[in-house]
A and B are shown apart, each in its own frame.
Chain A
Amino acid sequence: MKAYITYFKLKFISGLQYRSAAWAGIATQFFFGFVYIMVYIAFYKSGGKDIPLTLSQVITYLWLNQAFLALINQFTRDQELFNMVREGTISYELARPKNLYFMWYFKVLGQKLANVTLRFFPLVLITSLLPKPYGLGGPASLSCFILFLICLTIGSLLVTALTVFYPIITMFTLSEKGIVNLMISLADIMSGLVVPIPFFPLFLQKISKVLPFQYISDLPFRIYVGSMPTTIIINSMIIQFTWLIILIFLGNFLMKKSLKRVVVQGG
């Protein structure tokens, strides 16, 4: 276990070195945040019926999306792992007396946490100071906030498990383009990063309920804004945790399988 923690720590430390990338990321996220908010304000003004969230809830949700984007998205891929597969540095990883899946898992987790640590604080601080209705609102209640923290923690572990999948699949396909890119785009839509899940058409909401993606960030953010009854929260969190276990188990299994047929070429 200690080795995995050290892996995490090293990746975290090296991730913190990329400060200008973080500033650029923050600027982009502000921009996108405002664009999204303008769209929803226009939408609410036009007065649709049966809107599932209030305007301030949606705006808070959208800012949380932006603030935690580095953690919850799957499209910023860890190039290191893909390069490892493509260039064969994986040889060294295999020569280590540890489980490769968990080495990668903690690498990705370290990377994600480093990225989000650099980005989320300025975003949360500035957006919470913005005038109404543009700003980030507080949590619906203290219990909502506590549940949100727990749920987001499990969500981060869940998104890490999903992110580790992609380089493993690359071991079969040899290139991360194609199927992996397609999966990542789908995953991002189904996690509610483009449109919050409550705004999905009903059939899509049903589909997203059986997929793991909405349990990454949509669930914790909806808990934060207080748009969910407690019984549903508990049920959803049980599903969330079950997905986490399944995905880690599956990833580990797939990794073992791919290692049997691994081909290391050149040099």
Chain B
Amino acid sequence: MSFIEVKQISKTFRVAKKKSGLKEAFKSFIKREYLDVVAVDDISFSIEKGEIVGYIGPNGAGKSTTIKILSGILNPDSGECKIAGMTPWKERVKYVKKIGVVFGQKSQLWWDIPAEDTFDLLKDIYDIPEEEYQATKKDLIKRLNLEDIINIPVRQLSLGQRMRCEIAASLLHNPEILFLDEPTIGLDAVSKQLVRDFIKKLNKEKKTTIILTSHDMSDITTLAKRIILIGKGKVLYDGSLKKLRDKYDTETHVNIRTKDKLSIRKKGITSKNKTRDGYELVVNTKILSISELLMNLSKKILIDDIDIEQDTIDHIIVKLYEDYKI
């Protein structure tokens, strides 16, 4: 039995359907039509303790819905789920003591008062013993670099500062599982890096199980070894990031700076473009290895500079979405 076991979970939302226009507006006043939207459709997976799992998918795929079911907020229509031996939505109050959640698009901090006051409130909500609370708080303040901002009313904080406080607020009770729903949304590069490093360390040192959703693939690549891809409510891929790379990441871009004229025709080179000061080749590395290409090139021309770039994970994801037609 794994730490997190999800079995055939489904959830359907009922949405009122309304066509535009005055006539339709009157019609819907009398008789409403509903549309059933399947947000999560028969999802199963299991996660071991201490894993970091990237949960990805396009907008509206059902990511947040899954997170909300797993964190006990929503009741699924059917299916089973056991996390740390409990069913989240049935034993909500007992269960949520063990988890922490961060919703990047929402705020849990009180707007009018400094973050530290919200922390004090959370201490009472989670019944954290005073000593443990002080120690955890001190540790989080140090790691997330909060000393200067913790006493400023939250409404005056920047987004990056606020998000760091949000993350700290979710970890005061030392949860075993952390759900991060788009934790880096809208953050600048520095804040993103800080948040990622922090999450990585947390997982390493405290063995916190982390489930992460993000549209920023560099979040996923730096943090998660395993990803679960969902689309239209179904699990499409569940496995290591490396395997996904091997399968899809076959194209490499080679930028060559040269003054010479290059004519090369070889199996494996999918395209050749002239650039301002050289050429750009796209190579299928399964057919033509980079070293072979380089040997070939160096015989023909004088290379001033060369830049080899793997396909970015974003490209892979786009391809994946296209493949699965989501």
Q: Contact residues of A with B, CB < 8 Å?
A: 2-3, 5-7, 10, 13-14, 17, 87-89, 91-92, 94-99, 260-267
Contact of A95 among B73, B104, B117, B127 (CB under 8 A): B73
Interface string of B103-125 (1 = CB under 8 A from A): 11111101011000110110011
Say whether A267 contacts B64, CB under 8 Å.
Answer: yes
Query: Which of B27-35, B89-97, B284-292 is the contact stretch?
Result: B89-97
Say whether A94 contacts B73, CB under 8 Å.
Answer: yes
Contact of B68 among A3, A91, A96, A99 (CB under 8 A): A91
Closest A-B pairs by Cβ, 6 of them: A267-B105, A92-B108, A14-B112, A3-B124, A6-B124, A94-B73
Q: Which residues of B contact A13 (CB under 8 A)?
A: 113, 117
Say whether A91 contacts B73, CB under 8 Å.
Answer: yes
28 contacts between A and B (CB under 8 A): A3-B121, A5-B124, A6-B120, A10-B121, A13-B117, A14-B113, A91-B101, A91-B103, A94-B72, A94-B73, A94-B92, A95-B73, A96-B96, A96-B126, A97-B94, A97-B96, A98-B93, A98-B125, A99-B93, A262-B74, A263-B13, A264-B73, A265-B13, A266-B64, A266-B105, A267-B103, A267-B104, A267-B182
Q: Which residues of B contact A260 (CB under 8 A)?
A: 75
Q: CA separation between A110 and B28, bound complex, in Å? A: 40
Q: CA separation between A13 and B121, bound complex, in Å? A: 13
Q: CA separation between A194 and B74, bound complex, in Å? A: 42
Give chain B nearest CB distance to A1 CB in angstroms.
10
CB-CB nearest in chain B for A7 = B121
A3, A5, A14, A92, most chain B CB atoms within 10 A: A92
Q: CA separation between A98 and B125, bound complex, in Å? A: 7
Q: CA separation between A2 and B127, bound complex, in Å? A: 9
CB-CB nearest in chain B for A174 = B16
Q: Tell me if B99 is interfacial: C-beta within 8 Å of chain A.
A: yes
Give chain A nearest CB distance to B153 CB in angstroms.
9
Give chain B nearest CB distance to A8 CB in angstroms.
11
Q: CA separation between A2 and B74, bound complex, in Å? A: 27
CB-CB nearest in chain B for A90 = B73
Q: Tell me if B71 is interfacial: C-beta within 8 Å of chain A.
A: yes
CB-CB nearest in chain A for B123 = A6
Q: Tell me if B181 is interfacial: C-beta within 8 Å of chain A.
A: yes
Q: Which residues of B contact A91 (CB under 8 A)?
A: 68, 73, 101, 103, 106
Q: Which residues of A contact B110 (CB under 8 A)?
A: 10, 14
Q: Which residues of B contact A99 (CB under 8 A)?
A: 93
A5, A96, A99, most chain B CB atoms within 10 A: A96
Q: Which residues of B contact A96 (CB under 8 A)?
A: 96, 125-126
Q: CA separation between A7 and B120, bound complex, in Å? A: 10
Say whether A10 contacts B73, CB under 8 Å.
Answer: no
Q: CA separation between A88 and B73, bound complex, in Å? A: 11
Q: CA separation between A85 and B182, bound complex, in Å? A: 21
Q: CA separation between A14 and B109, bound complex, in Å? A: 13
Interface positions of B from 1 to 32, Cβ below 8 Å from A: 13
B71, B73, B110, B120, most chain A CB atoms within 10 A: B73
